[in-house]
Amino acid sequence: MKTIFLFISISFSVFLYGQKTILWKISSNKGANVSYLLGTNHLFGKTFVDSFPVIEQKVLASDIIITETKMDRPAITSSYDTRPVSDSINLVLSKEDIDYITELFKGRNTIPLSKISPGELVIKLQTYYPKFSCSVLKNDDRFSMDEYIQRIGKSHDKRSYHLETDSFQIGLITTSFAKYNWDFAKRNVPLILKQYRNKRASELSCFLINRYAALDVDYKFKDSCNFLKGNTMSNDEFVKKRNEAWMAQLPGLLEKNNCFIAVGFGHLCNQCGLIKQIEALGYLVEPVTMK
């Protein structure tokens, strides 16, 4: 079971006691521009953002909204539509389990089970488990934090900028999970579904979620970014290298605009995180009081 928890570990292992904010102010000593950096959690949504009015205030105070990728649901769905149909899932899981999974994700615009890869299936089930078990999460939120922030910006005619394309993110996930085969899914999916059916939250998963909801986080600024070195899913690939690519884009944007940047919380942490890298360029990066 260690492997199936790894994806969550990347996102949440940095959530401990700490700064009491997920929003940071970025000031330049070269000009008058002021920007903001928000560490998002993709399991939270509109309800959480609305509970902190300062987030929308800073979005509206900005000229350009910068996010990881454009949350274009029709385009994402279309990319999966090109995949061939497969009955592999029917050969490794019981009809009862398949029906249960179908009901879990009904109306969630997810990959059809006839086109999902075994790695995507395992990680999706494990990642979404807190949505069905942790009371602090609103299971009926229609939009994730990132998508909702994009929508706020669009409704106020803010310019948008995306650090990555949809195809890049899909390709990254597809390549990384290609090593997981249907034998792996056959062993692990029933174990994950057992968690769902027990209707009892994993103490660990909700502890980490609750820490984020309470803004009780630790950015581990003194730690290197090799904390996941040697694990099945490369931290270099999912965090460090992507941060480097983003930092090739952000300085020019920060110098010319008042930016609002919203990216996954894990990208702000450790020595290779965006906060430390932006500071190294001479910017003043300060925590914003959210309540």
The packing angle between helices 95-104 and 118-133, to 10°, is 60
Strands 284-287 and 23-27: antiparallel
So what's the pLDDT on residue 236? 66
For residue range 272-285, what is the model confidence (pLDDT) as tens digits? 999 999 999 999 99
10 Å Cβ neighbour count for 7? Answer: 21
13 vs 240: which has the higher pLDDT: 240
Which range has the worst mean pLDDT, 82-91, 193-202, 279-288?
A: 193-202
170 vs 271: which has the higher pLDDT: 271
Tokens of 236: 């270099």
Which range has the worst mean pLDDT, 56-70, 219-233, 252-266?
A: 219-233
188 vs 140: which has the higher pLDDT: 188
So what's the pLDDT on residue 235? 62
Listed in sequence order, the residues at least 6 apart from 225 whose beta carbon sits closer than 8 Å to its beta carbon are 235, 236, 239, 240, 270, 271, 272, 273
Task: Determine what percent of the chain is predicted with pLDDT higher than 90.
Answer: 53
**What average pLDDT does the segment 38-45 reach?**
94
So what's the pLDDT on residue 285? 96
Listed in sequence order, the residues at least 6 apart from 25 whose beta carbon sits closer than 8 Å to its beta carbon are 34, 35, 36, 284, 285, 286, 287, 288
**What average pLDDT does the segment 11-17 reach?**
39
So what's the pLDDT on residue 290? 94
Confidence label for 233 from pLDDT (cuts 50, 70 and 90): very low
For residue range 128-175, what is the model confidence (pLDDT) as tens digits? 888 888 889 977 788 899 999 999 999 999 999 999 877 676 667 667
Beta carbons of 150 and 49 less than 8 angstroms apart: no
pLDDT > 80? residue 42: yes
So what's the pLDDT on residue 82? 80
Number of domains in the chain: 1
**C-alpha dihedral over 43, 48, 54, 57, to 10 degrees?**
80
Q: Report the C-alpha gap between 36 and 174 in whole angstroms.
A: 31
- Residue span of the structural domain in which 52 resides: 3-287
Beta carbons of 232 and 5 less than 8 angstroms apart: no
**What average pLDDT does the segment 207-217 reach?**
91
Q: What is the rounded average pLDDT for all residues in the chain? A: 84
Q: Report the C-alpha gap between 20 and 291 in whole angstroms.
A: 10
Q: Report the C-alpha gap between 198 and 200 in whole angstroms.
A: 5
Beta carbons of 260 and 65 less than 8 angstroms apart: yes
